Amino acid sequence: MKNPNSKRDWAMPDGTTTTSFKRHRNAWAKLFEPVERELGLVCTQYHPGALFNEKTGGGSINLPTWFLIRLAKVCEQAAECRLLNEHMAAS
User: 9 lies in a domain?
Assistant: no
User: 31 lies in a domain?
Assistant: yes
Give 85's contacts (C-beta < 8 A, 6+ positions apart).
none
User: 5 lies in a domain?
Assistant: no
Q: Provide the pLDDT for residue 87.
A: 84
Over residues 16-29, the mean pLDDT reads 96
68 φ/ψ angles, rounded to the nearest 5 degrees = -60, -40
pLDDT of 36-80, one tens digit each?
A: 999 999 999 998 899 999 998 889 999 999 999 999 999 999 999
Poorest-confidence range of 1-5, 10-14, 21-25, 42-46?
Answer: 1-5
User: 70 lies in a domain?
Assistant: yes
CA 62 – CA 79 distance, rounded (Å): 22
What's the number of domains the chain is made of?
1
Its domain, for residue 74, covers 19-90
Could you tell me where the DSSP H helices lie in the chain?
21-39, 65-90
User: 61 lies in a domain?
Assistant: yes
Q: Provide the pLDDT for residue 41.
A: 96
User: 63 lies in a domain?
Assistant: yes
